[in-house]
């Protein structure tokens, strides 16, 4: 008897009717002779509503109490799904993260899962029940409720799949797979049959919000295949697995896709600190101060001025951190006697991702040429073995994605 | 350092603003040098909303999943109250029933509390924190979440007060005490300074919905004084304590109040089963069949017909049980060859309650006289040592309460 692990996101369990649909789907999988464990997120906007209530109480919630509060959302959807299954004569039981044996670090709000104790889940499975587990949470050594960061239900699902030695973790969401780029931007965007962990990680980190990056790391670590698919239909979605496994399947093909996907991140802002009297350690000072304020810095460009004694520095931060980052940077600017600090919220990051790029050195220059031919000015560039990212004007972001999607022929089935 | 136990009902924590008010009140009690444990209900209509969601999923919810679902309401209000306290620089921690050590029987939905393990609460109190505990719930031996019946937060509060050896349990609600009768019916209704457990139990069971009967039983068992009061002001409410304690305080008074309060229960219905061929065991048959269907029967009157071979039987049930009760009674009526079964939903029960009644035999006849003088017909009567109840027409209920309140001089301060 195979163990099947499903995870359903907030929109998939957003109403009693949708919960019944999910139950119907699970019942079929049970009828086909499988043991099923289901991980659920909170219904629809429940978490946001709870946070809204919280914001009416306090500006600086205690992380422990935050976890106590928001973990209730998943408890509601898990119990409702168990009831919906029972109403269809499909035995089921809901378990909180703690009851399911999910033990985390003692860090509120963003703990990592340390271990999954299987006793309770195995007992319930043996009794023929579908086990519905609250995603996004576990307990720490004190027995306190701990959440593992927003979007963490994906990670819960993969960790539980790994502990149960399931070979696949089906993650159901409101999109039906991973596309070469956002289909709302490029109508010819093509669904990928499979994508490697590394590529998916880059795509997820670069703005494709279909999967939580930590869940991909976890899947990669335990070699769990993630099947990302839609809860609205039975269509096969996208398999996220190791590059080796993908290579093996594709061994007959001469040439692999160089570029697999294009991501657009509009949630960033750029800060420039200009004409800093150059001396060793200025970068360390600036980024040390930002790190001390928990500002996550992404791309960094340092350039020499025509006057060799002066340096310019530019970097990007996440948009919500801009105000805080500017404040810190202005302080450091004064200390370092820089001429001035400029903040530019009107930028975006467009990125090409593909494992094949490492062996195709022409990819980056082809990208730059396509953009410049269309009068899109590149402000900053960053490259890694499997991606090239450019910072451009925000208003040009969607057009850039369309141009690149065409330039790299991503609409064609490989 | 004294331990103070407060309980706040759903309306008292019904909004972020109200939660802040509660926090403010608690902060004062802490500032006065007390250790404080607070038990909270779910915010406003949260529990009803969760049950409404549930009803959209299933008609016959599994009790275990029901408990999993509805227990989230208290977890939300407890964490929000802890945050509100912290925002006022008052250290606090919220605990689920399970975390607080409330262990119940292994019976979902209506377990009794078996034990309260104090370790965690005492640790948090020692660290100078206000401990906020979710009412209405605990865990069983399997670690599953168990609720203790609706309104059970009162019982949670009293049980925790007993375990902590607190002398008083302050129960805050939206009324400011126990009145001689419902002030919405009789504007001269007078707030009682104190009332005995026995009287309060009768008043609560007879329709005065201010306190959960089980909480009174529990308080009586452990001799915990309940101070029932309003969360909207600082006014002293009503003390609920042992008759002995009340006697002691009142020792200088020659005469005690005979009647302490009047309760009206409009949530009942009457069933008559007429002209049953009389033979031994007909009552056992009828009420055995009703008990088998979990119908709670309250008053029973059996009377002989003029034709001595026939008996009539009348009894009252809770209004929501009427349909089911009629069905069972009609079946039994056929079996027993009764002439017919009549159902009357248009009745109510008006009751006098007072410990002094046992030594004042005239009370019942004074009640009957007052009612008959005002053309209110009594359909059924039941008496105990501390109460007299009459079933009358529903439309006459409120007027009957007004008449009796005046007849027994309850508006006068004793």
Query: Do the beta carbons of residue B334 and residue B398 sit within 8 Å?
Result: no
Nearest to A75 among B16, B62, B72 (CB): B72
Q: Is the pLDDT of residue A251 over 70?
A: no
pLDDT of residue B74: 97
**First CA to last CA across chain B, in angstroms?**
36
Chain B: closest CA distance from residue A150 (Å): 18
Q: E-strand spans in B278-384? A: 297-304, 310-318, 340-344, 347-353, 380-384
Domain ranges of chain B: 3-249
- Give the pLDDT score at B258: 81
pLDDT bin (cut points 50, 70, 90) of residue B252 is low
Q: Which residues in chain A have their CB less than 8 angstroms from residue B98's CB?
A: 143
CB contact under 8 A, A50 and B99: no
Nearest-Cα residue of chain A relative to residue B72? A72
* Residue B308, SS3 per DSSP: coil
Cβ atoms of residues B38 and B7 within 8 Å: yes
- Which of B58, B79, B94 shows the shortest C-beta gap to A87? B58
Q: How far is A71 from chain B (nearest CA, A)?
A: 9
Count of Cβ atoms closer than 10 Å to residue A254 Cβ: 5
Alpha helices in B88-194 (DSSP H): 119-126, 153-163
B210-219 pLDDT tens trace: 788 889 999 9
Q: Which CATH fold would you assign to the domain A261-265+347-407?
A: VC0802-like (3.30.2130)
Give tens-digit pLDDT for A18-67: 999 999 999 999 999 999 999 999 999 999 999 999 999 999 899 999 99
Backbone φ, ψ for residue B397 (5° rounding): -60, -55
What is the per-residue pLDDT across B99-147, written as a single tens digit (0 to 9) for each?
A: 999 999 888 888 889 999 999 999 999 999 999 999 999 999 999 999 9
Please give the average per-residue pLDDT across B59-78, as a whole number: 95
CATH superfamily of the domain spanning A270-344: ACT domain (3.30.70.260)
Instruction: Give me chain B's average pLDDT, please.
Output: 90
Confidence of residue B333 (pLDDT cuts 50, 70, 90): very high
Q: Which class is domain B3-249? A: alpha beta
Lowest mean pLDDT segment, chosen from A219-223, A293-297, A304-308, B309-313: A304-308
pLDDT > 90: what percent of chain B? Answer: 69
Which pLDDT score, from 0 to 100, does residue B104 have? 94
- pLDDT at B232 exceeding the cut of 80: yes
Categorize the per-residue pLDDT at B150 as very low, low, confident or very high, splitting at 50, 70 and 90: low
- Residue holding tokens 């007052």? B370
pLDDT in tens, A144-161: 999 998 668 999 999 999
The complex's ipTM works out to 0.79
Whole-number pLDDT of residue B382: 84
Other Cβ atoms within 10 Å of B143 Cβ, number: 13
Chain A contacts in chain B segment 133-152 (CB below 8 A): 143-145
pLDDT digits 0-9 by tens, A74-100: 999 999 999 999 999 999 999 999 999
The verdict on A76 touching B (C-beta cutoff 8 Å) is yes
- pLDDT tens digits, one per residue of A160-200: 999 999 989 999 998 889 999 998 999 999 999 999 999 99
Range B217-246 average pLDDT: 92
Q: Looking at CA atoms only, how far is residue B63 from chain A in angstroms?
A: 10
DSSP character string of A268-336: EEEEEEEEEEP-TTHHHHHHHHHHHTT--EEEEEEEE-SSTTEEEEEEEEEGGGHHHHHHHHHHHHHHH
Q: A205 falls in which pLDDT band (50, 70, 90)?
A: confident
Number of A–B residue contacts, CB under 8 Å: 110
Q: Is A73 exposed, middle or buried (0-12, 13-18, 19+ CB in 10 A)?
A: buried
Would you state the pLDDT for residue A54? Answer: 96
Greater model confidence, B304 or A64 = A64
**Could you give phi then psi for residue A18, rounded to 5 degrees?**
-65, -35
pLDDT at B254: 46
**Residue-level pLDDT at B414:** 55
Quick: pLDDT tens for B167-177.
Answer: 899 999 988 89
For A124-141, b/e burial (b = at least 16 CB within 10 A) is bbeeebbbbbbbbbbbbe
In 3D, which of A187, A200, A186, A189 has the Cα closest to residue A238?
A200
Mean pLDDT, rounded, of chain A: 91
pLDDT tens for A373-400 read: 999 999 988 888 888 999 999 999 999 9
Please give the backbone phi and psi of residue A333, each rounded to the nearest 5 degrees, phi first: -60, -45
Indicate whether A252 pLDDT > 60: no
Annotation-wise, does B10 bind a ligand? yes
Inspect the interface and report whether the beta carbons of A76 and B20 lie closer than 8 Å: no
Report the residue of B14, B38, B69, B87 to disrupt the A interface, i.e. the one with the largest count of A CBs within 10 Å.
B69
Chain segment B337-364, per-residue pLDDT in tens? 999 999 999 999 999 998 878 777 788 8
To the question of whether residue A112 is assigned a binding role by annotation, the answer is no
Structure tokens at B14: 């019904």
């Amino acid at each position: 008897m195979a163990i099947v692990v499903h995870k359903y996101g907030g929109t998939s369990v957003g109403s009693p009717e949708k919960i019944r649909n999910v139950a119907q789907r699970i019942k079929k999988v049970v009828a086909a002779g499988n043991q099923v464990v289901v991980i659920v997120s909170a219904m629809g906007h429940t978490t946001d509503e709870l946070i809204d209530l919280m914001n009416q109480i306090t500006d600086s919630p205690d992380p422990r109490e935050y976890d106590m509060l928001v973990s209730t959302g998943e408890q509601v959807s898990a119990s409702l799904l168990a009831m919906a299954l029972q109403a269809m004569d499909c035995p089921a039981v809901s378990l909180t993260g703690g009851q399911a044996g999910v033990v985390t670090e003692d860090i509120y709000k963003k703990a990592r899962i340390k271990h999954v104790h299987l006793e309770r889940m195995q007992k319930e499975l043996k009794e023929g029940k579908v086990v519905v587990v609250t995603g996004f949470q576990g307990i720490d050594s004190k027995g306190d409720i701990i959440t593992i960061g927003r979007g963490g239900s994906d990670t819960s699902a993969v960790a539980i799949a790994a502990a149960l030695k399931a070979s696949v973790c089906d993650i159901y969401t409101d999109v039906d797979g991973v596309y070469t780029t956002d289909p709302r931007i490029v109508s010819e965007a093509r669904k990928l049959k499979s994508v490697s962990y590394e590529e998916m990680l880059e795509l997820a980190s670069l703005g494709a919000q279909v999967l939580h990056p930590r869940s991909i790391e976890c899947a990669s670590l335990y070699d769990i295949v993630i099947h990302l698919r839609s809860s609205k239909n039975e269509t096969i979605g996208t398999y996220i697995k190791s590059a080796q496994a993908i290579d093996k399947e594709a061994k007959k093909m001469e040439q692999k896709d160089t570029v697999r996907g294009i991501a657009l991140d509009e949630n960033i802002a750029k800060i420039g600190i200009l004409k800093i009297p150059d001396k060793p350690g200025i970068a360390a000072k600036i980024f040390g101060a930002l790190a001390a304020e928990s500002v996550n810095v992404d791309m960094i460009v340092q350039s020499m001025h025509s006057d060799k004694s002066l340096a310019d520095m530019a970097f990007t931060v996440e948009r919500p951190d801009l105000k805080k980052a500017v404040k810190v940077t202005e302080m450091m600017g004064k200390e370092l006697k820089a001429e001035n600090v400029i903040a530019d919220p009107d930028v975006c990051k467009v990125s090409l991702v593909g494992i094949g790029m490492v062996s195709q050195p022409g990819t980056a220059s082809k990208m730059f040429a396509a953009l410049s031919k269309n009068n899109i000015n590149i402000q900053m560039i960053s490259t890694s073995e499997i991606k090239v990212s450019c910072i451009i004007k925000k208003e040009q972001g969607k057009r850039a994605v369309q141009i690149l999607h065409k330039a790299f022929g991503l609409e064609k089935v490989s």
